[in-house]
Amino acid sequence: MPRIIIVSNRLPVTIDRKQGELIYYPSAGGLATGLSSLDQSFERLWIGWPGQVVENDTDRATIVRQFRRDGMIPVFLSQQLIEDFYEGFSNKTIWPHFHYFTQYTSYNDRYWEAYSEVNRMFADMVARVVAPDDMVWVHDYQLMLVPGMLRDRFPELSIGFFLHIPFPSYELFRTLPWREEILAGLLGADQLGFHTFGYMRHFLSSVYRITGVEHNFGKLIVQNRMVNVDVFPMGIDYEKYAFPDNQDVISEEVRFMQDYSKRMKLILSIDRLDYSKGIPERIRAYELFLRRHPQYHGKVSLFLVVVPSRSNVDQYQDLKVEIDTMVGRINGEFGTFYWTPLRYYYRSFPFHNLVALYQASHIALITPLRDGMNLVAKEYVASKQDGRLGVLILSEMAGAAHELTESLIINPHDANQFEQALVRAIEMPEEEQLRSLGDMQKKLRRYDVKHWANNFIRQQMDMKRFQQDRQTKLLSDSSRQTLLESYRASNSRLLLLDYDGTLVGFKNEPSEAYPDEELLEVLRTLKKQEGTMPVIVSGRDRYTLEAWFGDLEIDMVSEHGVWLWSDRKWKLNEGVIASWKPAVMPILENLVERTPGSFIEEKDFTLAWHYRRIDNELGANRVREIRDELIYLTANHNLQVLEGNKVVEIRNAGINKGKAATRWLYRKNWDFIMAIGDDHTDEDTFQALPEQAFSIKVGLMRSTAKYKVRSVEEARDLLSALSKSR
């Protein structure tokens, strides 16, 4: 039976001790609900920290046994590791940094070591239980190294990762001393998910700038493995908030508040104590509102719920003092014997009371300075059933703002806009409130947490299948054997060999990619074999090819087929002209003027603009810029514009490697033909081959070739085997 192994910092349970006895309560958070709705044919296993330090071996054994029954496996952490890994690196380094609070980022090697150690412990636990067909789904910023650690040990394992907090812009991410390690950890996954397109974009840009790996529509090739990066906005358990059961368990206190809401416009604010949530900014905006609008005094009240969190971290203690002081000041200044403008609760509420608060409040103020998604905003909207009214004022800095577009969206730093939104919310006509709520509810119902979890898992499964499909073309040991035998058994053999990216790897400077002695020796040996004809089919200029291979006396194609070299002479292909060059050259020169690091390569009948040493995005923008101009010119001169790997080439139409290859293909009745190449210009060669030929693509990208090899090394290895097989 296929299994999903969830790996998250916390298990969905709370452990407690009553009269010395260990007890635990399952806590159904959003993630647990989403997962429980997955196709029942999946078995589930959850690995995580149980939320308590447990030192005693007997207690540990009891917990392991009890948890096992519910499909959970605890990872026990010592007090020191919790301080350094959880409170330290996770909450004093990654959390502030990824939420743009770099002034709070702690750069501490001990924290980093603990972070690596705990990630290793989680990866070890997965390794102990995982089976080859399992899918692993790792969650959040505390465990970013786990995918990479698992990949090192299980090259074929299906691994997903979801980040619940923002991924910061490259400019911020780059300042972390551990940036390479973090990216390497994350890129161990087959699929990476983010709440918004913005976070995904930041991630892809960081990957490109730091590791040099480029993406194509969110797909990356990392060490010959394809990785899918996509947006999966997390939803809520809609039914649970829209139609809560057991409403009679609501406390007296909340009942009082429900009555209160009949006399007063209630404004609800609810968050964990966290500087990212913008609580002081919110209170300040409320103060401004009270100051500017005395007409609302006695008619509104802000219920400020702050849920205790991370109280061991200094900044959280400071924040608490700041909030306490502000609340005291406002109530002292504006409050009357009959009216408290701000009611402040520093604690959490049981679920049913929370929903009752959502239902009763007229306005919700959800205005974080940064927030990955923010589920409270979604829960508030969902709770407004049966004609209940409500207005959501939502920060544009929360991931949820991308979906809840019918709310009043504000910039939490702009106190004036904030204050105006409050007035608008108080005065908003009922029909408008109902319309906005209805529109948002439709989206929340459809894209709920079950949809989120199913969608992530389904795409992860598709990704695995896709990777396997690509692997099916890989030259297996037995196909390689067949190829070698067929080579040995034949008398006339044609080898069409691309050069750059096939026989040698790419270099920043094209002239540095010269052939090494080992390669020259293989080519020499092949050439000497009776009946073997190696031909180099390249896009390079003829002077370079002649200088490098002229002495070997092997045939060559240069400039993708403009020149053909046989019997120590170059022959020009018919119909090519160079009279168009003066018209195109100034366009490319202008580009070089404006783009330091790019350069023009002039061949006899081709002009190429190379941008491999400059920022890829800038290069791509420049290409877009000149495309129109070039298309106009090329139509008049019968030219073609080809966009290659960080190069744009302009040359005569009708010239390509496939056409050039036919000159050799039909020269003889070959009984063995093999073509090998790495980029799309080689596809023309592959397509020109007869059915029985062996076509081989270097790399895993899509190709019409019959077989693929993973790398230049594998391609050379094959060629070397051919050279030794006769």
Which residues here bind ligand GDG, judged by CB under 6 A? Answer: 30, 164-165, 234, 270, 272, 307, 348-351, 354, 371-376, 379
Are the C-beta atoms of residues 400 and 377 closer than 8 Å to each other? yes
Nearest distance from residue 351's CB to ligand GDG, in Å? Answer: 4
Q: Which is nearer to ligand GDG, 343 or 524 (CB)?
A: 343
Decide if 237 is catalytic.
no
Nearest distance from residue 372's CB to ligand GDG, in Å? Answer: 3
Q: Which is nearer to ligand GDG, 356 or 545 (CB)?
A: 356
- Neighbouring CB atoms inside 10 A of 644's CB total 13
Q: Phi, psi at residue 679, to the nearest 5°?
A: -120, -175
Instruction: Dump the DSSP string for 148-172.
Output: HHHHHH-TT-EEEEE--SPPPPHHH
Beta-strand relationship, 647-652 and 408-410: unpaired
Q: Which is nearer to ligand GDG, 350 or 644 (CB)?
A: 350
Matching residue, tokens 């080992």? 518
> Which long-range contacts link 554-560 to residues 24+ away (Cβ below 8 Å)?
554/523, 554/527, 555/664, 557/657, 557/660, 557/661, 558/603, 559/603, 559/604, 559/605, 559/606, 559/651, 559/655, 560/606, 560/649, 560/651, 560/655, 560/656, 560/657, 560/660, 560/681
Q: How far apart are alpha carbons 230 and 280 in whole angstroms?
A: 34
Nearest distance from residue 164's CB to ligand GDG, in Å? Answer: 3
Nearest distance from residue 698's CB to ligand GDG, in Å? Answer: 41
Calculate the alpha carbon distances from 542 to 509, 569, 572 in Å: 17, 11, 11
Nearest distance from residue 366's CB to ligand GDG, in Å? Answer: 8
Can you name the residues that pair with 26 across neighbouring β-strands?
A: 13
Nearest distance from residue 23's CB to ligand GDG, in Å? Answer: 19
Q: How far apart are alpha carbons 541 and 562 in whole angstroms?
A: 9
Nearest distance from residue 376's CB to ligand GDG, in Å? Answer: 4
Q: How far apart are alpha carbons 475 and 517 in whole angstroms?
A: 26
Are the C-beta atoms of residues 677 and 685 closer than 8 Å to each other? yes
Nearest distance from residue 347's CB to ligand GDG, in Å? Answer: 7
Nearest distance from residue 211's CB to ligand GDG, in Å? Answer: 26
Are the C-beta atoms of residues 3 and 42 closer than 8 Å to each other? yes
- Whole-number CA gyration radius for the chain: 32
Instruction: Say which DSSP state 514 is in.
Output: P
Q: Which is nearer to ligand GDG, 28 or 127 (CB)?
A: 28
The amino acid that residue 589 corresponds to is E
Are the C-beta atoms of residues 695 and 683 closer than 8 Å to each other? no
Q: Which is nearer to ligand GDG, 91 or 538 (CB)?
A: 91
Q: Which is nearer to ligand GDG, 401 or 496 (CB)?
A: 401
Q: How far apart are alpha carbons 16 and 30 in whole angstroms?
A: 21
Beta-strand relationship, 694-698 and 672-677: parallel
Q: Phi, psi at residue 32, to the nearest 5°?
A: -60, -40
Q: Phi, psi at residue 343, to the nearest 5°?
A: -105, 125
Spell out the residues 6+ positions from residue 211 whose beta carbon is closer than 8 angstroms to its own. 180, 183, 184, 187
Are the C-beta atoms of residues 97 and 168 closer than 8 Å to each other? yes
Q: Which is nearer to ligand GDG, 371 or 649 (CB)?
A: 371
Q: Which is nearer to ligand GDG, 222 or 234 (CB)?
A: 234
Within the chain, what is the greatest distance between any pair of CA atoms? Answer: 107
Q: How far apart are alpha carbons 487 and 499 in whole angstroms?
A: 21
Residue 66: which of 11, 29, 28 has the closest Cα?
11
Are the C-beta atoms of residues 492 and 669 closer than 8 Å to each other? yes
Q: Which is nearer to ligand GDG, 115 or 194 (CB)?
A: 194
Are the C-beta atoms of residues 42 and 175 closer than 8 Å to each other? no
Q: How far apart are alpha carbons 243 and 75 in whole angstroms?
A: 36
Q: Which is nearer to ligand GDG, 449 or 689 (CB)?
A: 449
Q: Which of 134, 274, 371, 498 is catalytic?
A: 498
Rounded to the nearest 10°, the torsion over CA 358, 12, 115, 108 is: 30
Q: Which is nearer to ligand GDG, 220 or 376 (CB)?
A: 376
Q: Which is nearer to ligand GDG, 42 or 345 (CB)?
A: 345
Beta-strand relationship, 215-216 and 219-222: antiparallel
Are the C-beta atoms of residues 187 and 148 closer than 8 Å to each other? yes
Residue 708: which of 663, 673, 677 has the closest Cα?
677
The amino acid that residue 332 corresponds to is G
Nearest distance from residue 243's CB to ligand GDG, in Å? Answer: 16
Beta-strand relationship, 639-644 and 647-652: antiparallel
Q: How far apart are alpha carbons 443 and 439 in whole angstroms?
A: 7
Nearest distance from residue 279's CB to ligand GDG, in Å? Answer: 13
Q: Which is nearer to ligand GDG, 460 or 656 (CB)?
A: 460
Q: How far apart are alpha carbons 496 and 439 in whole angstroms?
A: 61
Q: Which pair of tokens denotes residue 320? A: 């608490």
Give the catalytic positions in this structure.
498
